[in-house]
Amino acid sequence: MTRTLFILLTLVLSANAATGARAASDHDHGDHDTHDTEHADDGRVEIDADMAQQSGVTTALAEGGQIERLAQVYGTLATLPDRRAVLQARFPGVVTSVQATTGDRVQQGDTLAVIESSDSLRSYRVRAPIDGVVQTRSVSPGAVVSDAPLFTLVDDRQLWAELKLFPRQRGAVRAGQTVHLRINDQTAEGRIAHITPGSAETPYVIARVALDNPDRRFAPGDLVSADIVVEHAVVPLRVDNRALQTLDGQTGVFIQDGNQYEWHPLELGRRDARYSEVLDGLHGGAQYVVGNSYLIKADLEKAGAAHEH
């Protein structure tokens, strides 16, 4: 009977041992993980120069430079108030002749029309008060005019970009700041002349930028997109934004040292579209990874990369 028992035992044992093999394969898996975790703990990875070059890893020298922080706003072009004239007849009368018509460019002092006064029956001239273009003309010879506008003159050699500043943007914008304007795919530059409050109904204030328009590329009413340089500083140390990665909730860069790449968490200050100011965590002259910095992060953290279904 004991023999039977023994056989039974052997069989159950062999079955157990066989099923236990599944565990063995998983142990290997576990090994692998711990190995990689150690690898990642010191925040340092090694990549061959060849490999780095093939993967598009590039570096740059950490140095000082400009930081230009921009705010993007929209607005429209408008004529300057003193560059626009609406002409009316001084005395009601009959228009005897009209010298200028819509679109004509006139000089200050040019005669635009002659009107014979109904009272005195004497003729007088209507002269252009400013240089400009005849935008509208609403008289023809023979018409009797009283106080209706005769001509509108506009001088568009200089325009205003009226930019709308919404509350969140307002704080950083000051008069005198440089503005990069983009109008119909053309660019121009200017400075904020002044900021005026909007009306009670509008949530925004208006910043005006004078814009020279000698060749009349722009027209009043054009939509302007503007980048206001709200902050311009020369900082002792800045890094390229493409270099920044986040690791464990901290932002930083990878410093290259031969084939070694080391993680440096940074304290960052101001930033613009391309660069960020470095307050702490990096010294000038370090080679930091710019191109494909994600790859270094990926290599550092790859222990966590698993395929979970």
Can you give the binding site for another protein, defined by CB under 8 A? 3-4, 6-8, 10-27, 29-31, 33-34, 36, 45, 47-48, 51-52, 54-56, 71-74, 166-169, 182, 203, 222-223, 225, 246, 273, 292, 294-299, 301-309
CB of 152 to another protein, least distance (A): 17
Residues with Cβ within 8 Å of 234's Cβ and at least 6 positions away in sequence, in order, are 64, 65, 66, 67
Nearer to another protein, 11 or 175 (CB): 11
Q: How far apart are CA 156 and CA 1, in angstroms?
A: 116
Least Cβ distance, residue 134 to another protein (angstroms): 20
Give the shortest CB-110-to-another protein separation in angstroms.
Answer: 30
Between 10 and 88, whose beta carbon lies closer to another protein? Answer: 10
Residue (58 or 225) nearer to another protein, CB: 225
Nearest-approach distance from CB 92 to another protein, in angstroms: 33
Nearer to another protein, 32 or 283 (CB): 32
Query: H-helix or E-strand containing 145?
Result: strand 144-145
The CA distance from 225 to 227, in Å, is 7
CB-based contacts of 280: which residues, under 8 Å, 6+ apart?
Answer: 266, 267
Q: ∠ CA(259), CA(264), CA(265), 5° rounding?
A: 155
Helix, strand, or coil here: 282? coil
Shortest spacing between CB 112 and another protein, in angstroms: 27
Please identify, using beta-carbon distances, which residue of 86 and 223 lies nearer to another protein: 223
Q: How far apart are CA 162 and CA 208, in angstroms?
A: 5
